[in-house]
Amino acid sequence: MSKILIIEDEEAIADLEKDYLEMSDFSVDIKNTGNEGLDAALASNYDLIILDLMLPGVDGFEVCKKIREKKNVPILMVSAKKDDIDKIRGLGLGADDYMTKPFSPSELVARVKAHLARYSRLVGSAEAKQNETIEIRGLKIDKAARRVFVDGEEKTFTGKEFELLTYLAENPNRVFSKEDIFRAIWGMESYGDIATVTVHIKKIREKIEYDTANPQYIETIWGVGYRFKI
């Protein structure tokens, strides 16, 4: 269940927002001052923060700035004045979205859901990048162990073959020239020529492709280079 923090001094508004968010299965905390809100935001891991601009004590501008220094959580700022929203945008405080009061609670819920979906996609793709295993159809590349499997069967790869396959698989659907590949895998300072790339691609295909005449992974783009297809 996603946890939402509402920082809002008008209790009736805060309660209404909370009711609607709880109906959509969010868990909601309310803080009525800037200081309490800031402490709560920094002390717990909320999935999203709804922050009112005009607050007693520390105002929403300051709270937003302070949260941003420490946390990446999505912040949705609300204000009764359209001018304030323009001002917030201009200040570049790092708020993710802005709403002018009054807004309908269902609009608020829709925005919250949209931000959470977007944020989880961003975090999800960052995690996938760190993932040590690449799996595409029957091909599995274990980067940490430097092992390659085709339909569960391990294939023996030399160091350069492994680096080349991993390089292409990590950049799918992108066309690389033989020069690009040579530079990336062998380095500028290396001796040798780009025919080495052709030889290595041929060897890799023999290990991973079912039919090397009709490769399903590494495709030849005639006159240009190669592309790893997903």
Q: Which residues bind Ca ion (CB under 5 A)?
A: 9, 52, 54
Closest approach of Ca ion to the CB of residue 37, in Å: 11
Closest residue to Ca ion using C-beta atoms: 54
Q: Which lies closer to Ca ion via its Cβ, residue 8 or residue 47?
A: 8
Q: Which lies closer to Ca ion via its Cβ, residue 75 or residue 204?
A: 75
Closest approach of Ca ion to the CB of residue 123, in Å: 30
Closest approach of Ca ion to the CB of residue 85, in Å: 14
Q: Do 167 and 184 contact (CB within 8 A), yes or no?
A: yes
User: How far is 182 from 73, CA to CA, in rounded Å?
Assistant: 41
Q: Do 160 and 166 contact (CB within 8 A), yes or no?
A: no
Q: Do 163 and 185 contact (CB within 8 A), yes or no?
A: yes
Residue 142 contacts by C-beta under 8 Å, 6 or more apart in sequence?
A: 132, 133, 148, 149
Closest approach of Ca ion to the CB of residue 146, in Å: 57
Closest approach of Ca ion to the CB of residue 6, in Å: 11
Q: Which 3 state secondary structure label does DSSP give 228?
A: strand
Q: Which lies closer to Ca ion via its Cβ, residue 16 or residue 54?
A: 54
Q: Which lies closer to Ca ion via its Cβ, residue 78 or residue 201?
A: 78
Q: Which lies closer to Ca ion via its Cβ, residue 17 or residue 52?
A: 52
In the chain, where do the E strands start and end? 3-7, 27-31, 48-52, 75-79, 97-100, 133-136, 139-142, 147-150, 153-155, 175-177, 218-221, 225-228
Tokens 């940490």 belong to residue: 144
Q: Which 3 state secondary structure label does DSSP give 25?
A: coil
